[in-house]
Amino acid sequence: MSSNNFKKRHRAEKRFKAYGLISLVTAAIMLIVIIGSMIYKSIPAFTNYTLDLEVNMVSQSLDTDIEEINYRGIVRDSFFSLFPEVQDRSEKRKLSKLISSSAGYSLRDFIIENPTYGNKKFYFSVLFTDDSDLFYKGYVDVYLPEDERRLDNQEIFWLTKLQSRGRVESKISRNLFLNGDSREPEVAGFYGATIGSLITIFVTLVLSFPIGVITAIYLENFAIKNRITDFIEVNINNLAAVPSIIFGLLGLAVFINFFGMPRSVPLVGGLVLSLMTLPTIIITTRSSLQSVPPSIREAALAMGASEMQVVFQHLLPAALPGIFTGAIIGLARAFGESAPLLLIGMVAFIVDIPASINDPATALPVQIYLWADSPERAFVAKTSAATLILIGLLIVINLVAVILRKRYEVKW
């Protein structure tokens, strides 16, 4: 009887342990599925199929301004010359939609950089449109009925013909890493958004780090316990738990409407994010100041140092590694944040790379949101690639924090 009970209890024990393990394994599987699906879906984004097109600029007279030439027409004519059998106007239009509309611009940029090519015949690689690109990558199911795919039989015939001539090759997509946003998936890149994010985070760092650290020092070492400082503390703890979108509403109402700051700029984004990050920095700074043993403080005071000297010459240097770690973690959170930025207008379609805190910009997480909303299929891959980059950057930032802590942490 009792041994039976014993077995039962131990089975319960094993079951209980298994539940714990299963929960953790579920979490792990979810993590693997998320990251894995991002990696899998992002693969097509990293390469681009290009066409080696023989461009004929010989007929261009030397005295026309190189910026005035009809590059688009040249690209199109060169492309048409590969298909002499296509004469019909509407068919030609269909044909020209196989290669990216950006081809003319990139030829223009190339000629402006290398004017010596201005009257030569040479090979120039042009991008395909997203649909043709996906076809080459094998994402177009040719066995589907014609009206259910993005490319019809004629277009697929042309694309196969091009490939059989050996003119088509796959290259690493430079656009993805070096361009701003674009309506054309084959041209769009996340460089602009990354720069926007970095500027925003810079503003956040410059504002929230000093204010946060000084607030923590004040509350920890100088503040006399009274109603005002109690109120401040309660406030900080509450702010740490306020949903991030509320900070966006605050930014919209106060910074943009009341103070008349411009929309969509990293300055306002940084302001909003620094208000959001402030509580994190204050709380971590306080806890690392608390972890410095009181003997140090007492020794300094006994040697005649003032409270200010104790803090800045002894406590702060000892607590600095912990403070940096906390600040980096807070900033990493701000780096991945997007909801407040949506409300202050950093969700606009912006092609140019931002260069200052007053240029319209978007942020990397917001770019992901924007691309995820785009109907073109090629943007799925772009979005996944951008999420990988975002996660990668965050891992790097966090690793820096871990290394800093391991390296400089003082064990008392």
Partner 1 sequence: MINTDLLISLSLIIVSGLLSFSLAKGRARLYLVNNEPLRSMPIYHGLYVSLWGMLPSLFLLFLFLLFKSNILSALVIPYISDTTRELGSDEIIYVKNFLINNISNLKTLIDSEFLTIDKAKSLSDKYSFGRIILFSLIFILSVISSIASFKSLSVRFDARRKVENIFQFIFFLFSTMAVLTTMGIIFSLIFETLRFFSQVSFFEFVFGTHWSPQTAIREDQVGSSGSFGAIPLFTGTLLITSVAMLIAAPLGLYSAIFLSQYAKPRTRDLLKPILEILAGIPTVVYGFFAALTVGPFVRSCGEYLGLTVATESALAAGAVMGVMIIPYVSSLSDDVMSAVPVSLRDGSLALGATKAETVSKVIFPAALPGIVSALLLAVSRAIGETMIVVMAAGLAANLTANPLSAVTTVTVQIVTLLVGDQEFDSPKTLAAFALGLMLFVITLILNIFAMIIVRKYRERYE
Q: Which residues from 308-327 bind partner 1, rule CB under 8 A?
A: 308
Torsion over CA: 22, 27, 33, 39 (sign): negative
Q: How many residues interact with partner 1 (rule CB under 8 A)?
A: 89
Q: Does the footprint of partner 1 cover residue 203 (CB under 8 A)?
A: no
Stretch in the footprint of partner 1 (CB under 8 A) among 51-59, 77-85, 152-160, 232-240 = 232-240
Shortest spacing between CB 255 and partner 1, in angstroms: 9
Shortest spacing between CB 339 and partner 1, in angstroms: 4
Q: Does the footprint of partner 1 cover residue 301 (CB under 8 A)?
A: no
Stretch in the footprint of partner 1 (CB under 8 A) among 115-123, 169-177, 192-200, 231-239 = 231-239
Q: Which is nearer to partner 1, 195 or 332 (CB)?
A: 332
Give the CA dihedral 285, 288, 290, 291, nearest 10 degrees: 180
The site string for partner 1 over 253-282 (x = CB under 8 A, - otherwise) reads xx--xxxxx-------------x--xx--x
Shortest spacing between CB 178 and partner 1, in angstroms: 22
Q: Does the footprint of partner 1 cover residue 222 (CB under 8 A)?
A: yes
Q: What number of other Cβ atoms are within 10 A of residue 82's Cβ? A: 16
> How many C-alpha atoms does 177 have within 13 Å on its Cβ side?
8
Shortest spacing between CB 34 and partner 1, in angstroms: 5
Identified binder of partner 1 from the candidate list 98, 168, 205, 250, rule CB under 8 A: 250
Residue pair 274/203 in contact by the 8 Å Cβ criterion: yes
Q: What number of other Cβ atoms are within 10 A of residue 35's Cβ? A: 13
Q: Does the footprint of partner 1 cover residue 400 (CB under 8 A)?
A: no
Q: Does the footprint of partner 1 cover residue 70 (CB under 8 A)?
A: no
Shortest spacing between CB 288 and partner 1, in angstroms: 17
Tokens of 41: 């879906």
Tokens of 197: 């994010």
Residue 77 vs residues 53, 56, 82, 139, 168: alpha-carbon distances, Å: 10, 9, 9, 29, 18
Q: Which is nearer to partner 1, 54 or 230 (CB)?
A: 230
**Could you tell me which residues are beta bridge partners of residue 56?**
121
Q: Does the footprint of partner 1 cover residue 17 (CB under 8 A)?
A: yes
Shortest spacing between CB 280 and partner 1, in angstroms: 12
Torsion over CA: 254, 259, 261, 267 (sign): negative
SS3 254: helix
Q: Which helix (H) or strand (E) holds 189?
A: none
Site for partner 1 in 174-193 (CB under 8 A): none
Q: Which is nearer to partner 1, 163 or 398 (CB)?
A: 398
Degrees, nearest 5: CA angle 56-59-60: 100
Tokens of 125: 């690689």
Site for partner 1 in 348-377 (CB under 8 A): 365-366, 368-369, 372-373
Q: Does the footprint of partner 1 cover residue 287 (CB under 8 A)?
A: no
* Start-to-end CA span in the chain (Å): 55
The site string for partner 1 over 116-155 (x = CB under 8 A, - otherwise) reads ----------------------------------------
What one-character DSSP code corresponds to residue 241?
T
The β-bridge relationship of strands 168-172 and 47-56 is antiparallel
